[in-house]
């Protein structure tokens, strides 16, 4: 269903990068830099590349590359930056990581764990947001413009975004988080940053409320243009582009370890962005047998891939709070391809969901809704049990989100197909879950321990587009 560039057209290495279109079909194609600054498409849709390159014939050459080298090869197919400039941005972005492999893969029991938490805020979000922060600064220096970044976070996105742009010229950042619904550490990582271009907003609602306020502001095109709004949420394609890279890197490492020629991934996800990056990687030619979608009790996505019905439920506060989401903002990108890239059909489905809180799609085959995906929901008891078992059996500590993915990976692992579980955060960020699982807090990290007692800055606002717009106006005067 995805339009691909033929392998022979990619071999030269100087192919013109693709333009970007909206899932709603009402904007002219734009270049990568414009897509980065636009964030949410001006017609209310999400931006996607017009074409997906088929790189099947390049996998052998890419397999031995370092993380930065691989990122340069993958991203160069999608961006309109000179290669030397892209290389420099990537070196700057991943030079901040504490591990020389950036995203190392370790074997634990019968699975392989891709550790995505070696960035400045100990979250997989750093992989995309360190790059995006440098990219924003690069583009603004070229254009002479400025940007007010506005984001909504269920936990990790906010701190990773703040650390990506704090102290930078030409950029302010406004981060909304649901009041009292992030972990204590996640809140401290955001609110203890003293830089004058950083503003934290605690919204008196849940994460979906934050997302609705965000979309309301971006859909006010006059306000968006007047205040030069930009997005760091995964509605920004550059975030997903950066995430595609670690699917290739992790697959190559697991293949090196096992000698196998294809892999599966288990992905804890609430907003569908992380696993959608794997969907794109698969369609680029990476030999992925299965993408296992793992949710917590907020199971709208797992229910969809098991039934074909996408329907709202209540938001439950869980021990894996970054996944406490009902409306997954990146799901529209997947639906666009399920609609055979028919923007009108997609728009009709989204309108139906907006009115009824429900939509339904037909299965692709006898394998179910989509043969590439398996899906399951994992409750708190199973999450804590997984943390405890992996610590006792393998002396390996999982954060609660990763434990959701590991439980699901164990459930769907197949003989002769390595299962790679994405470890999305360092366990020190979720000490209460570790205490609940093990009876004591054995998860520590200097960057986390140093946060206690630091002064904080945050404003509390109601669930109101107008209230947040007024706050932003006041800070931009």
d(CA 73, CA 285): 14
pLDDT of residue 241: 98
Q: Which residues of 384-401 are buried (b: 16+ CB within 10 A; e: fewer)?
A: bebbbbbbeeeebbbbbb
Check 6, 87, 125, 345 and give the catalytic one: 125
Which class for 452: exposed (0-12), middle (13-18), buried (19 or more C-beta within 10 A)? exposed
pLDDT of residue 18: 85
Neighbours of 308 (CB within 10 A): 16
Q: Which domains does the chain have, with CATH numbers?
A: 105-120+238-446 (3.40.50.1100)
Per-residue pLDDT of the chain (477 residues; tens, 9 = 90+): 444 444 333 333 444 668 999 999 999 999 999 999 998 898 999 999 999 999 999 999 999 999 999 999 999 999 999 999 999 999 999 999 999 999 999 999 999 999 999 999 999 999 999 999 999 999 999 989 999 999 998 777 889 999 999 999 899 999 999 998 888 888 999 999 999 999 999 999 998 899 899 989 988 989 999 999 988 878 899 999 999 999 999 999 999 999 999 999 999 999 999 999 999 999 999 999 999 999 999 999 999 999 999 999 888 989 998 898 888 989 999 999 999 999 999 999 999 999 999 999 987 766 678 999 999 999 999 999 999 999 999 999 999 999 999 999 999 999 999 999 999 999 999 999 999 999 999 999 999 999 989 999 999 999 999 999 999 999 997
Write out the H or E segment, with its range, that includes residue 285: none
What is residue 146's three-state secondary structure? coil
CB 310 within 8 A of CB 368: no
- What pTM was estimated for this model as a whole? 0.91
**Helix count and strand count (H, E) for the chain:** 20, 17
Write out the H or E segment, with its range, that includes residue 47: strand 47-49
Whether 87 is catalytic = no
């Amino acid at each position: 269903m995805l339009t691909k560039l033929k392998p022979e057209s990619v071999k030269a290495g100087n192919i013109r990068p693709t333009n970007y279109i909206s899932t709603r079909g009402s904007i002219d194609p734009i270049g990568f830099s414009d897509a980065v600054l636009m964030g949410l498409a001006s017609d209310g849709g999400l931006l996607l590349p017009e074409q997906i390159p088929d790189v099947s014939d390049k996998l052998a050459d890419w397999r031995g590359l370092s993380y930065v080298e691989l990122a340069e090869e993958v991203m160069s197919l999608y961006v309109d930056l000179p290669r030397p400039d892209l290389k420099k941005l990537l070196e700057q972005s991943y030079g901040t990581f504490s591990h020389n492999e950036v995203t190392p893969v370790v074997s634990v029991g019968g699975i392989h764990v891709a550790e995505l938490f070696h960035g400045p805020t100990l979250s997989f979000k750093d992989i995309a947001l360190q790059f995006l922060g440098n990219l924003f600064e690069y583009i603004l220096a070229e254009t002479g413009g400025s940007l007010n970044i506005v984001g909504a976070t269920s936990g990790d996105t906010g701190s990773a975004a703040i650390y990506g742009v704090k102290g930078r010229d030409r950029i302010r950042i406004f981060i909304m988080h649901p009041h009292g619904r992030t972990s204590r550490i996640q809140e401290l990582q955001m609110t203890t940053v003293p830089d004058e271009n950083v503003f934290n907003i605690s919204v008196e609602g849940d994460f979906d409320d934050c997302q609705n306020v965000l979309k309301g502001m971006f859909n006010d095109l006059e306000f968006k243009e007047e205040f030069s709004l930009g997005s760091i949420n995964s509605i920004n394609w550059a975030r997903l582009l950066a995430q595609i890279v670690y699917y290739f890197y992790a697959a190559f490492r697991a293949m090196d370890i096992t000698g196998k020629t294809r892999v599966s991934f288990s992905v804890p996800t609430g907003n569908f962005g992380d696993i959608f990056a794997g969907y794109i990687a698969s369609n680029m030619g990476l030999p992925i047998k299965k993408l296992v979608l793992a949710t917590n009790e907020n199971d709208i996505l797992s229910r969809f891939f098991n039934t074909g019905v996408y329907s709202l439920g209540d938001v439950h506060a869980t021990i894996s709070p970054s996944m406490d989401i009902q409306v997954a903002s990146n799901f529209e990108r997947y639906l666009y391809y399920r609609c055979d890239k028919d923007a009108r059909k997609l728009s009709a489905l989204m309108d139906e969901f907006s009115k009824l809180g429900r939509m339904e799609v037909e299965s692709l085959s006898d394998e179910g809704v989509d043969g590439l995906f398996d899906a399951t929901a994992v409750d708190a008891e199973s999450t804590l049990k997984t943390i405890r078992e992996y610590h006792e059996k393998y002396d390996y500590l999982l954060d609660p989100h990763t434990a959701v993915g590991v439980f699901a990976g164990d459930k769907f692992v197949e003989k002769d197909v390595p299962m790679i579980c994405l470890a999305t955060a360092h366990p020190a960020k979720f000490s209460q879950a570790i205490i609940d699982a093990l009876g004591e807090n054995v998860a520590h990290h200097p960057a986390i321990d140093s946060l206690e007692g630091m002064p904080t800055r945050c404003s509390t606002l109601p669930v109101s587009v107008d209230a947040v717009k007024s706050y932003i106006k006041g800070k931009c005067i």
